Every structure is written in structure tokens, then in C-alpha cells.
């Protein structure tokens, strides 16, 4: 793929080097190329998930989303702003001359880090605004985001249950939570536990974020008429044992997922709700009949994602009176908590990486009876608690006590 300026390695990936690397090799290029390469390099090194590039009247603002939180990275002067933005668009094969309409593009880059090569996919999306063009660059680092099940933050009990469920021949397993809660990451981790040579695994995603060896992954494309509904029906004609549907969006996709689980398929999908039990109410509101819900639904994994305390600089502290009272409400007597501090490794934030907070609800006979009787959210939650259901708050408190998560960070994501 042709690029304006910059370097390609033998495999055709765009080679991104830091200013320091280029100086050492005597390979400094055009100043604009150097600026863009430095932004990309530092963002990848910092484990950023997104780069926000916003053209404003006086400058080009560069922000990085690191561990789920946006941070100002750089302000580029108005003299270079348009050129830097144009350079980003060239990398993604976007129309540099058109700032009036949204555009999407992508490219793969290669960086040299600690003597090793690292390939990273970049997804570009522009949007016109009153102050100037806005560009989002999503960094898809397979090594960073494609995680195994035992690294997500699940308890040993939750992990063991999920591994057992993944061996079932049929059923519907949902992961639920708000946007950015890591639902798709969990689905990928679950699929990675399957022997793809013994079971036919087919996915329908929008878009495919990471490829998994041995499974069939498909991506919707409305531009050519390949809709979500059409893709769901095509999946069923591929003799699947396991189906992964990127998201249940409406009544049609919910009904197809549930009918598939009743006809001998193990189905995995995501749903946008606040918590696990709330998913039952949401599906009911979509128009799914209670009898179909009770027959198809196997388990719901509610999840949130929080910043992990930096292990190198976290500091021990006494709990406040309010913190101690909250722990007492769940029967815990805590004498020490860990707080963020900040060091060079975590860019002085006190946090490094992220971890999941989970609640796993198994659909028992008692819950099925409650669904058929159209019990309220509170009534269903009470049934689940009687059967050992562990809420977000309890799971989060356990991670606070263990020094994995700070108390303030947990409170930030708990409703």
C-alpha cells in the first residue's frame, strides 16, 4: 500500500520509530512525519487504547486514553496543525481534501520496542465539527487486549463456572455492561478456551477486532447489504457448534440467538445493561416471551472495568470512617487499604493496566420460575442472592482489600 513519505518494512507494514531511534540511526525525515511517528510511538508505548486528535482554532489537541481515562498528551501549534492532521489521514488512505464528511480508514504499523518487533492495527475515524475536524485513532494491540480467561480478574469460582459452561453443547451466555466495560474482550477470552478443531466456532462481529486462529469470523458490512440480521441467518447455515454474536441489538437478534441455543448451539453474546439481573428485564422489554427466556438463557456475566493500582508505587493507608462503615455492611473488617501514588512507570497516575469487576448470575429453576411469573428486578435479585449471587460491590471490595483496586476507583464505576 503506497504511503506519502515514511518507511515500509519488508512485510509492507508502516515502520514507526521514535525521534530518539531516528536520531540514533541518523534517519530523521520530514518534520511532520517525525511528529506523527512520535505521537504514534509514544501512544503505543503508553498502552493507550485511543488517540484523540482535535483540530481547534489555535492548536491541534492530542489526547490519549490510557486505562480508560483521557489525558492531554500534546498541543501542536496552528502552523503545523493542518499538516499533522493531513499526515494522519494519508496513513489511513483517507481523502485529505474532504473535511466535510466522516471518513473511516485503517493501517497496520510496526514498531521496534526493546529490540523486538511489534505489529499494531490502527483504526481511523474522522468527524467534522464547528471548530475543525476531529480524528479518533483506535489502537488495536493484540498482545495487550487479547487476554486469557485467567488474566481478566475473575474469581477462581467464577472462572471455574465459566469454563464448565463453555463445555456445554447448547445454551445462551451473555456478557453485559456499559460501553467500554470489556464485554468483547471477555467473549474472546471465552472463545480461546474452546478447541476449535473439535467444535465449529462462527462469529458475527461489527467490526472484527482481533482474529482467533481456527475459528470463522465474519463482519457485517451494510454498505454492500450484508446486514446483522442477514449475517445471523447465514451463521446458522454453517453447521456451527458455537456461535458468538457481537451484540444483541434488538428483538430479532435476541430471538435468533435464543432459538439457536434451543436447537443445539452454544451461543455467546453481549447486551448493554447496567447489571446482570437487569439483562432479564431488558430482554423482556425487547418483547422476548418469558417461556423463551427461561428455556434459552443459561448465565449472565455482568462486568465493569476499572484501573488497576500500580504495583510499583501503591501505598498502604488506614481506611476512613466512611470506608470502614461500608466494609462492615458486607461483613468485612478492614484495617488497611491501598492508595495510588504515582511513579515514572505509571506516568504519575498511580494506576497501571485495568482489571474487571464481575457478577455472575446462573439461571436457576427458581429464577426461571420468577421470570415466568414476571417478577420485578428487586424480586429477581433477591432470588439470586439467596442462591449465592455475588454483586459488583462485593467483588469490587474483595479487590480493594487485596490491593488490586483503590477504593476511590471502585466508587467511580459503581452506580
pLDDT digits (tens, 9 = 90+) for 8-63: 554 567 888 777 777 777 666 688 998 999 999 999 999 999 999 998 877 899 99
pLDDT at position 9, please?
Answer: 52
Question: What are the cell numbers at 257?
Answer: 440467538
pLDDT at position 415, please?
Answer: 66
Q: Chain-centre distance of CA 195, in angstroms?
A: 23
- Cβ partners under 8 Å of residue 22, min gap 6: 28, 29, 34, 37
- Cβ partners under 8 Å of residue 373, min gap 6: none
pLDDT at position 41, please?
Answer: 93
pLDDT at position 369, please?
Answer: 97
Chunked mean pLDDT (size 10), the chain, 415 residues: 47 76 72 92 92 89 93 91 94 91 91 83 93 91 72 94 96 93 92 89 87 88 83 89 92 91 94 94 94 96 96 95 87 89 91 95 96 96 94 92 94 82
CB 174 within 8 A of CB 248: yes
pTM, to two decimals:
0.84
Q: Report which DSSP code applies to 222.
A: G
pLDDT at position 11, please?
Answer: 56
pLDDT at position 1, please?
Answer: 35
pLDDT at position 71, please?
Answer: 92
pLDDT at position 4, please?
Answer: 43
Amino acid at each position: 500500500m503506497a504511503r506519502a513519505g515514511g518507511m515500509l518494512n519488508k512485510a509492507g507494514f508502516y515502520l514507526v520509530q521514535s525521534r530518539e531511534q531516528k536520531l540514533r540511526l541518523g534517519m530523521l525525515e520530514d518534520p511532520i512525519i517525525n511528529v506523527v511517528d512520535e505521537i504514534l510511538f509514544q501512544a503505543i508505548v503508553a498502552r493507550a487504547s485511543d488517540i484523540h486528535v482535535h483540530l481547534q482554532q489555535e492548536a491541534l489537541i492530542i489526547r490519549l486514553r490510557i486505562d480508560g481515562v483521557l489525558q492531554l498528551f500534546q498541543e501542536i501549534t496552528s502552523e503545523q496543525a493542518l499538516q499533522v492532521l493531513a499526515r494522519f489521514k494519508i496513513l489511513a488512505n483517507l481523502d485529505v481534501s474532504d473535511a466535510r464528511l466522516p471518513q473511516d480508514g485503517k493501517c497496520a504499523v510496526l514498531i521496534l520496542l526493546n529490540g523486538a518487533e511489534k505489529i499494531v492495527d490502527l483504526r481511523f475515524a474522522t468527524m467534522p465539527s464547528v471548530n475543525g475536524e476531529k480524528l479518533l485513532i483506535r489502537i488495536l494491540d493484540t498482545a495487550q487486549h487479547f487476554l486469557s480467561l485467567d488474566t481478566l480478574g475473575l474469581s477462581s469460582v467464577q472462572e471455574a463456572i465459566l469454563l464448565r459452561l463453555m463445555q456445554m453443547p447448547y445454551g445462551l451466555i451473555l456478557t453485559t455492561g456499559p460501553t467500554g466495560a470489556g464485554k468483547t474482550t471477555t467473549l474472546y477470552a471465552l472463545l480461546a478456551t474452546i478447541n476449535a478443531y473439535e467444535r465449529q466456532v462462527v462469529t458475527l462481529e461489527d467490526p472484527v477486532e482481533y482474529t482467533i486462529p481456527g475459528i470463522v469470523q465474519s463482519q457485517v458490512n451494510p454498505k454492500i447489504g450484508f446486514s446483522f440480521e442477514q449475517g445471523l441467518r447465514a451463521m446458522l447455515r454453517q453447521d456451527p457448534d458455537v456461535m458468538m454474536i457481537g451484540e444483541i441489538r434488538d428483538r430479532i437478534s435476541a430471538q435468533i440467538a435464543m432459538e439457536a441455543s434451543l436447537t443445539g448451539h452454544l451461543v455467546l453474546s453481549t447486551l448493554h445493561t447496567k447489571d446482570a439481573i437487569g439483562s432479564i428485564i431488558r430482554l423482556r422489554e425487547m418483547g422476548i416471551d418469558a417461556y423463551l427466556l427461561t428455556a434459552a438463557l443459561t448465565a449472565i456475566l455482568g462486568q465493569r472495568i476499572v484501573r488497576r493500582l500500580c504495583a510499583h508505587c501503591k501505598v498502604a493507608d488506614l481506611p476512613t470512617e466512611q470506608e470502614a462503615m461500608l466494609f462492615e455492611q458486607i461483613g468485612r473488617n478492614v484495617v488497611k487499604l491501598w492508595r495510588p501514588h504515582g511513579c515514572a512507570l505509571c506516568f504519575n497516575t498511580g494506576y497501571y493496566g485495568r482489571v474487571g469487576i464481575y457478577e455472575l448470575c446462573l439461571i436457576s429453576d427458581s429464577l426461571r420460575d420468577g421470570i415466568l411469573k414476571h417478577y420485578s428486578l428487586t424480586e429477581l435479585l433477591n432470588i439470586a442472592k439467596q442462591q449465592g449471587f455475588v454483586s459488583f460491590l462485593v467483588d469490587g471490595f474483595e479487590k480493594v482489600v487485596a490491593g488490586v483496586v483503590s477504593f476511590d476507583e471502585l466508587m467511580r464505576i459503581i452506580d
